[in-house]
Homo-oligomer: A and B are copies of this chain.
Amino acid sequence: MRNLKITLAYDGFDFRGWQVQPSQSTVQGLLGAAVERVTGERLLPQGSGRTDAGVHALAQVASCAIESPIPVANLVVALNDVLPPAVRVLAIEEASPDFHARASAKAKTYRYRIWRDALCPPFLARYVYHHPYPLDEGAMAEAAGAVVGEHDFTSLAAADPERGREAQEVSNVRTIFSSAWQREGEEMLYTVRGNGFLHHMVRNLVGTFLLMGKGSLRPANMTGILQAKSRSAAGPTAPAHGLYLVSVEY
């Protein structure tokens, strides 16, 4: 038995997210079907985490144990032949037997793209959130800095319907290593790196920063929002299609 580390990129706009679902097009489902078609083995590659419907990935990581002796380079080519063009396997490596894409992850980086110009080119419509209205970008930068460090992010976490009651009691404390906005032409890019992220956490952070950009909240409110440990204290969930899973570190 070999254990593989699969790195893949996807345009998530047309998928129902990462996690396999009956009669829905999901990245995990497509990857599992591709592995089965190539190796004859029925298995479900485990992702570093689920991405929501519409969320993109520049380098999602999945792990799976297979019997097939097919060399990794050939497996990359064979899987890409079978997968739709919106999902591409970038690399496959042999991993140690105890490697697990989710459990072994040490850090993840996400990015959120906001398009600021009055007109959003049609070729970007699937890949950025178009928000052409006035924003106080300084306030958003300040608020982004305020979440760096170890915090309980309950206020920024969606109630996850797929986690049972027991799991809901698991800690919502996460450590954010960096969190910052940058400007690139007509785009505002938010990049956040942390040791883990709760369900909808990055989209809820962006939705909260946007309220600060609009002046509905002030950056100084960020501490109180975290302390409230209540979803209703924070802002709305920003649209999925502006979000990218950039990388997973092990």
Chain A residues in the interface with B (C-beta under 8 A)? 9-11, 56, 80, 85-88, 90, 119-123, 125, 127, 130
Contact = CB atoms under 8 A, between A and B. Distances in A.
B120 A85 contact: yes
Number of copies: 2
Contact of A122 (B87, B119, B121, B130): B87
22 contacts: A9-B121, A9-B122, A9-B123, A10-B122, A11-B122, A11-B123, A11-B125, A56-B123, A80-B119, A85-B120, A85-B122, A85-B125, A85-B130, A86-B122, A86-B125, A87-B122, A88-B119, A88-B120, A88-B121, A88-B122, A90-B119, A123-B127
Contacts of A88: 119-122
Max chain B CB contacts within 10 Å: which of A80, A123, A125? A123
Contacts of A86: 122, 125
A61 to B, nearest CB: 16
Contacts of A11: 122-123, 125
A90 B80 CA distance: 37
A74 to B, nearest CB: 13
Contacts of A120: 85, 88
Contacts of A121: 9, 88
A15 to B, nearest CB: 11
A233 B121 CA distance: 39
A3 to B, nearest CB: 24
Contacts of A119: 80, 88, 90
Nearest to A88: B122
A94 to B, nearest CB: 20
A17 to B, nearest CB: 15
Nearest to A56: B123
A191 B179 CA distance: 42
A120 B89 CA distance: 10
